[in-house]
Amino acid sequence: MKGFVKVAAAIPQTNVADCVGNTQQIVGQIQEAAARQAGLIVFPELAITGYSCKDLLLQDSLIKQAQNCLAEIAAATQSADIIAVVGLPIAYGNALYDCAAVVENGAVKGLVPKTIFLNDNNRNDLRWFKSAYGIAPNATIRLFDQDVPIGRNLLFQTDLYSFGIELGEEATTPYRPAAHQAQAGADLILHLTAHSDVVGKYRQTKAQIAQTSKTLCCACVSTSCGFGESTQDGVFGGYSLIAEQGKVVAEATRYSTVPQLTIAEIDLDRIGHSRRTHAMSLAVHHPQSACRAIRLETVATATPACTTRSVNPLPFVPASDTLAADCEEVLTLQALALAKRLLHTHTQKIIIGVSGGLDSTLALIVGIKAFDMLGLSHEGIVGYTMPGFGTTRRTHSNATALMESLGISVKEVPIHDACKQHFSDIGLDPTKLDAAFENSQARERTQILMDVANMIGALVVGTGDLSELALGWATYNGDHMSMYGVNAGIPKTLIKYLIRHYAESCGNEAISQILLDVLDTPVSPELLPSDDKGEIQQKTEDLVGPYELHDFFLYHFLNNGYGPEKIYELAKVAFSGTDPRVSTYDKTTILKWLTTFFRRFFSQQFKRSCMPDGPQVLSCSLSPRGAWSMPTDATAELWLKECETLTNG
């Protein structure tokens, strides 16, 4: 398993044209990064000389001193398992090149010269440097008694990952080297730059680097020179950014007057899965043969654990700063999908079984929004409450009050007598509270909804959610079935936030109070009799496990292709008690429900293979029509054995 690899982005304190002093800073940061178990460290563009040397860059003394200092930096890696990438000017042929040098194990392994130059704040780098376009594909330079590869087409490979290099403005151009490098196999793109600051530029840069990591399915490590560079005509504020798959996972403090080292772990498993599932078709345009592979000797180390970055325990839930807007968008997408289905079927009526629980409440909210979109009367929404043996006063009251407050048509059909007759017909002992006792109630409710829909020309809107589909927590041909499943793409953890958002934004205090009580009600199918106090006795999460854990497992299994070991290691961090939104779980509890997740996920595929239509609104779905394709008789043995190994370990 690849796991995580630790990388570092450095901002040394620069002294312009002081190669020796700058090198001391660089060596010190290499040693610090190695001590903190980083396997790779990246320095800014022209870090050895300082970026703002201007015409001093053409002086032989400075060029030679920079080259000698590179030898000292290479020597610093001899006793450390770390790869260093540092910027300096290199004289080659009859020209000077702005280069990134890759050093490891005491030697320079390759030089990547800058190809694309743009004017930045009236600076014309072509005054000093030549573009790498003219360098032959297999060129080498004699450096420290060895032939060192030099060129714009170098791709560096370790035993765990590959990386490519961009310099300066190359990252902002349409034909940027990173696109070529990523398609040739680079998991990491290293960006050495010298970023002079103007107001607003950093925000654009940060967004661009994050987007690059998403577009190219990679990680980006970008660093720029900072305090100490000349302020004659501009200010170098210094930044370091480490991004992965569209998200910045670490960044330095801006405008610091002291050196900084930003360290983060890169999830190679996630990058690999994303490449396999999303980027394979791109490889034909840029075959790997177009790149010149440089094999590095340093043994890259990885760990399945994550120690330097937080792990979100609620990956399906939007971030707090976009929560309201994202919740509204999810509800709108669900409603839009239902509106289209109503128009296509030429019907202006829907039927929903409203239980007073989370799922049916969300389906009802979506129905209201869809009818509002189409300008239809809420009376065309027919809500059925169907109290049975496990229905409590609380859920029944909430269901009825909510339907009345929303102005829909309210119907009630108790199922006690029908179920008792059915028990008698099939010879079921009603005191034996087994699966048949429970499932017959769910199927009776579905039969009522389907038959009434036929009577009045309506669509039965399903209420089952993504989490229930993953665990198979639905009665086959009972609540498993509908004419359109609006919640099929929504996990249970997100449903709570969607309902709370609607409660806070609907502008109706009565509706809001009902919804808040629904949120406070334990999740239950209410198929077993209540306790002596009339309270819910059958609690879903006591039986199949906490949904916050299962949704976490599901997200990383579907989105990232992780196996049990990786999910387990992440879950230990995510549910360690640092996030107040979720409960704390110990290792034994996590492993118990992780095993349950994989056992149920595989065994319940037959229900997903014939699930009704329903919209995908998040990054993953379990629809058998393209989103998730899996044989119903696939074995879970591999995953369960891995869980068993974790338990015994």
pLDDT of residue 123: 62
Indicate if 271 and 342 belong to the same structural domain. no
Q: Are strands 239-244 and 219-224 parallel, antiparallel or unpaired?
A: antiparallel
Cβ–Cβ under 8 Å, residues 603 and 39 = no
Indicate if 225 and 347 belong to the same structural domain. no
pLDDT of residue 284: 47
**21: Cβ contacts below 8 Å, ≥ 6 apart:** 15
Place of tokens 């807007």: 325
Q: Which range of residues forms the domain containing residue 122? A: 4-295
pLDDT of residue 287: 45
CA 283 to chain centroid, in Å, comes to 23
Indicate if 330 and 234 belong to the same structural domain. no
Indicate if 256 and 351 belong to the same structural domain. no
Indicate the range of 167-181, 384-398, 486-500 predicted with least confidence.
167-181
User: Half-sphere exposure (CA, 13 Å, Cβ side) for 160?
Assistant: 21
Return the CA Rg of the chain. 30
**509: Cβ contacts below 8 Å, ≥ 6 apart:** none
User: What's the mean pLDDT when you consider all of the chain?
Assistant: 90
pLDDT of residue 120: 57
Note the pLDDT tens digit of each residue in 472-508.
999 999 999 999 999 999 999 999 999 999 999 999 9
pLDDT of residue 288: 44
Note the pLDDT tens digit of each residue in 102-150.
999 999 999 999 988 776 555 677 788 888 888 988 999 999 889 999 9
Q: What's the DSSP call for residue 483? A: S
Indicate if 200 and 325 belong to the same structural domain. no
Average pLDDT over residues 394-418: 96
Indicate if 387 and 473 belong to the same structural domain. yes
Q: Are strands 146-149 and 140-143 parallel, antiparallel or unpaired?
A: antiparallel
Residue 8 lies in a domain: yes
Note the pLDDT tens digit of each residue in 260-294.
999 999 999 999 998 888 754 544 444 444 789 99
Indicate if 236 and 330 belong to the same structural domain. no
Per the structure, the count of domains in the chain is: 2
pLDDT of residue 289: 43
Residue 307 lies in a domain: no
Indicate if 464 and 343 belong to the same structural domain. yes
Residue 560 lies in a domain: yes
CA 56 to chain centroid, in Å, comes to 46
Note the pLDDT tens digit of each residue in 32-74.
999 999 999 999 999 999 888 888 888 899 999 999 999 999 9
Q: Go through 543-566 and write b for each residue having 16 or more CB atoms within 10 A of its CB, e for each that does not.
A: ebbbbbbbbbbbbbbbbbebbbbb
CATH of the domain at 169: 3.60.110.10
Which has the closest alpha carbon to 505: 368, 371, 354? 368
Indicate if 384 and 486 belong to the same structural domain. yes
Indicate if 258 and 351 belong to the same structural domain. no
Give one DSSP letter per residue of 252-306, joined into a string. PPTT-SS-EEEEEEEEHHHHHHHIIIIIGGGGGGS-GGGSEEEE--S----BSS-
Q: Does pLDDT of 534 surpass 90?
A: no
Q: Does pLDDT of 348 surpass 50?
A: yes
pLDDT of residue 475: 94
Indicate if 375 and 289 belong to the same structural domain. no
- The C-alpha atoms of residue 323 and residue 330 are separated, in whole angstroms, by 10
Residue 302 lies in a domain: no
Cβ–Cβ under 8 Å, residues 299 and 540 = no
State pTM to two decimals: 0.89
Which has the closest alpha carbon to 496: 471, 460, 521, 461? 521
Residue 308 lies in a domain: no
Cβ–Cβ under 8 Å, residues 52 and 86 = no
- The C-alpha atoms of residue 568 and residue 304 are separated, in whole angstroms, by 9
Residue 353 lies in a domain: yes
Q: Does pLDDT of 351 surpass 90?
A: yes
Residue 390 lies in a domain: yes
CATH of the domain at 584: 3.40.50.620
Indicate if 221 and 369 belong to the same structural domain. no
Helix-helix angle 323-345:492-505, to 10 degrees: 100
Residue 496 lies in a domain: yes
Instruction: Give, in order, the Cα–Cα distances in Å from 270 to each of 156, 560, 567.
Output: 20, 5, 12
